[in-house]
Structure formats: structure tokens, C-alpha cells
Amino acid sequence: MARENQGLQIALIVFVMLALILGVTTFVFYRQYDQEKGKALAADQEKAKVAKDLDAAQREIVELKRILGFAASDTMQVIGQEVPKDMQLAASLPEADRNYRKLVQHLNDTVQKKNQALAVAENDKANLQKQLADREKEAAARIQQHEEEVKKAGADLSQMAANYKKTESELNAEKDKLLTERKEIEDKSNQQIKALQETVAAKDKEIRTARDVAVRYRDEAEALQHTTFEIAHGKILWVNQRTGRVYVNLGEADGLRRLMTFGVFTSSSNDVSQSEKKASIEIIEILGPHMSEARITEDKPGNPVVPGDLVFTPIWAPGRRVRIALAGFIDIDNDGRSDLDRVRGIITTNGAVVDAYQDESGKVIGQVTRETTYLVQGTPPDEKSSRDMRRGYTDMINAATRNLVRQIKIDELFQRMGYRDVDRVTSYGKGASATDFRVQPPPEGVPVSSGTVSPLFKPRQPQRGSKTTF
């Protein structure tokens, strides 16, 4: 019995707890419902207000579209495409002022200005019309005056025509007289010209004869003075082939200088201009009045220099100074650049005097005279050369011909004077020449073994077992 009461008590307690929990839960959920209902009512009120504001905004947009000239159905994309086109009318306005209100004001100002300009133009037009009427009136008066002058001129013209006919007949008579006198003068002039031509031809013949005589006298005088290519200046007295040294019978008394160069010819050469040069030498020491030492700068192994050989240079002569003129472009090493200063230095070093030359611009410095011994010709100018170069070259050639000066090429000058120390331009690559890279023997000659070997010399042999290689 006691257990049954205990179970009822427990059931009652559980029931009461469940009732309390249900009541609390119901209260909480009802309160939340009431709060959410209030929020929903407030949201409905806010929605109604927003809808009202949206409707007002849409009406304002439609009204604004109407004011701007757009349809109510036009979208912002359409309006955005049309606005830049309209704003082109206000291109002169700043970027910040480009709107429809400023545009209307700008267009109104523009119209006002145009109206003012139109009013000014209308005023100008009225003034011009008045001026035109005045000028037409003045022109009518001038036309009438001109017509009267034309009538008077017609009468004067008739009188002038009569006078012209009279004058024409007089002029024709004078013309016939002058033609007759002209023919007489021409006939007399032709006779005088013919006589002058015959006189000039006779004078030209006399000049050619005199020039031929002068050339013959010059050749004879040069032959007597030993200043031509035909006769050598000196000869080789002694030769040391081992050291490449020779002694020459020219010295201080002959006006010889150090570093002068000579061509060497065989002793049997009576005319060196017709003989082949066998070697070249350069004076290195003046030993006496008629003695000097020179070094061999060029020779031929098959035809060595021997005592008795003759020496000659075209730009030096014992007892006097040879005078040289240089014409044309001077290039001795074929590098395309002017060697004028270098050649002048070589000539003066060898005792000669440069009378005249052409500078790089073609201007002639100095003068070719009868005292000039040789005119040395460089590269003649062509059609690409400057006008001054062509004219200067022609003037020097004519002066040399007129003054009976001998003319030689610069290559011939250096070949005959024995000059060899000219820098050559060595080309590499496809333009190279094998002769530019030949092995040159030493100055003292190629060493030759005597056949005797010192006992101290022993052939080198690798050590046995060594990996060292030689």
C-alpha cells in the first residue's frame, strides 16, 4: 500500500513539473509571437512608405525625362547614348559645366551673340549698298567722261595713222641705207678677221716652233747639268752583305743628308731612266765630304748590290736643290686618305723644295714656275671630285706644260728615288693577300749550322716509368 502511494506521489510530481514546463514554454512562445507580429506590422508600414516614395520617384523621373525630351519608356542606356551627342554642342564649355542647364544657357548666349553679329552684318550690308550706289553713280560719270575721251582719241588716232605712214616710209628709206652700210662693214670686218686669223696662225706656228726649240734647249741644258733621270749621281764604293750596309761616294760637300733614299742601278746603266732598279738604299751616316754610309732597304737575292753600282734619286742633285710640284690627290698607301703632308715631309727630308701643291679642298698652294723641276701627278680628279680640285689640277698641268716642266707619276717618283718605308694597308678576311703574311728572314740572314755540335748537348729522353710527356 505504501508503495502504491509512493508511485502516485511520483506521478503527481512529474505531472506538476510537466504542467509548469508547458506553461512556461507557452508563455515564452506567445511573447515571441507578439514581438514578431509587431515587427511584421512595422515592416508593412515601412514597405508602404517605400512604395509611396518609389512611386513619387518614378513620377519625378518620368517628368525629368519629359523635360529633357526623352520618352517615359526610354531606359538609362538610351539616355546615356544620347547625352554625349547633345553635349557636343557645348564642347567649348569646361567638363564640369557640361549639363543640360548649362547647355541651354550656352546655346542662349550663342544665339544672342549670333543675333548681335547678324545685326552688325545687316548694318554693314546697308553701308555697303550705300557705298555701291555712290560708286555706281561715280562710275557712270567716269564712263561718260571716258566715252568723250575715246571720241577724242579716235580723232587723234587718225592723225597719228597719217603721221605713222609718213614716218614709216622715212624709216624704210633709212633702213635700206643702214643695211647697205652694214653689208659694207661686214665685208670689211670679214677681210680683217681673215687677216687676223692668218696672223694668229702664223704666230701659233712661231710659238710652237719656239716651244720646240725651248724644249730642245732645256733637254740639252739638263743633260749638261746632270739633272735628269738619265745620269746617276754617285756609285757604291763598298758593300757588306752580311750587315746590309754600303758606302757611297757622296757626302757633306755634295749637300747629302741623313735619311735620304736612292735607287740602285747596275754599273752598266748609261741611262737610268731606261734601266731597271735593282735595289734601294737609305743614307744613315755622313762620313766625309764625299763619303757616306747607307743601309740596304730593298734588294733582290738573285741580283745583289755590288761595288760600282750607280745610285740615283730624282728629287736631289749635288750642289743644287730640286723643286717639286704636287698635283691631284696624293695617296701612297692606297688607304683612301690623303698622304699629302707625309709626301711633303719625305720630299723636304731628301733635300728638295715643294713649290706648289693642292690641299685637300683642291686649292692650289704655291705656283708652278720655270724653276720647277718636276710636276708629280697623284690621282687625277674625276666627275665626283670637287670643282676646286678639278680646276686646280687642270691649272697646274697647264702651268707645267706652259713652263716646260717635266711631269711624272708619284709611283714612278718613289720607285726611282728608292723610297720603301711606306706603310701599307693590310687587309684581312676575303680581301687578304697571302703575300702580306710571308715569313720574313732575320736581318742577318737565315742561320746555317756549321756541322759541329757541342758535347754538352744531349738529346732529351723521357724517364722510364714516367707518364710525363714532352
pLDDT (tens place) for every residue of the chain, 470 residues total? 566 678 788 888 888 888 889 888 888 888 888 888 888 888 888 888 888 888 888 788 887 777 777 787 777 777 777 777 777 777 777 877 777 777 777 778 888 888 989 889 989 899 999 899 988 888 888 898 888 888 888 888 888 888 888 888 888 888 888 998 888 898 888 888 988 888 888 888 888 888 777 777 766 655 554 344 457 888 999 999 888 999 999 998 888 888 888 989 998 877 777 788 889 999 999 999 999 999 999 888 888 999 999 998 888 888 778 899 999 999 888 888 889 999 998 888 888 899 999 998 889 999 999 989 899 999 999 888 899 999 999 999 999 999 889 898 988 888 877 776 544 444 445 444 454 455 555 545 545 555 554 554 455 555 554 444 43
- Predicted confidence at residue 459, as pLDDT, reads 52
- pLDDT for res 219: 65
Among 286, 292, 310, 296, smallest CA distance to 235 is for: 310
pLDDT of residue 424: 45
Are the beta carbons of 343 and 330 closer than 8 angstroms?
A: yes
Give residue 469's pLDDT. 41
Contacts of 62 (CB under 8 A, 6+ apart): 72
pLDDT of residue 364: 92
Query: Whose grid coordinates read 502504491?
Result: 4
pLDDT of res. 348: 87
Across-strand partners of 42?
A: none
Q: How far is CA 296 from the centre of its chain?
A: 46
pLDDT recorded at residue 281 = 92
pLDDT for residue 325 = 93
Give the per-residue pLDDT at 398: 93
Question: How many Å is the Cα radius of gyration of the chain?
Answer: 61
Q: Which CATH class is domain 314-421?
A: alpha beta
Residue 329 has a pLDDT of 92
Q: What does the pLDDT read at residue 106? A: 78
CA diameter of the chain: 193
* The predicted structure's pLDDT at residue 309: 92
Going by C-alpha positions, the residue among 365, 379, 388 that lies closest to residue 331 is 379
Tens digits of per-residue pLDDT, 401-456? 998 898 989 888 888 777 765 444 444 454 444 544 555 555 455 455 555 545 54
Copy the grid coordinates of residue 210.
719656239
pTM of the model: 0.40
Cell numbers linked to 57? 520617384
Query: Residue 433 has what pLDDT?
Result: 46
- For 139-176, b/e burial (b = at least 16 CB within 10 A) is eeeeeeeeeeeeeeeeeeeeeeeeeeeeeeeeeeeeee
Using CA atoms, how far apart are residues 461 and 469, in angstroms rounded to an integer?
10
Per-residue confidence (pLDDT) for residue 238, from 0 to 100: 92
Q: What is the pLDDT of residues 206-236, one digit of tens each?
A: 888 887 777 777 666 555 543 444 578 889 9
* CATH for 229-312, options being 2.40.10.170, 3.40.50.1000, 3.40.50.300, 1.10.12.10: 2.40.10.170
**Whole-number pLDDT of residue 305:** 92
Q: Specify the amino acid at residue 309.
A: D
pLDDT score, position 456: 47
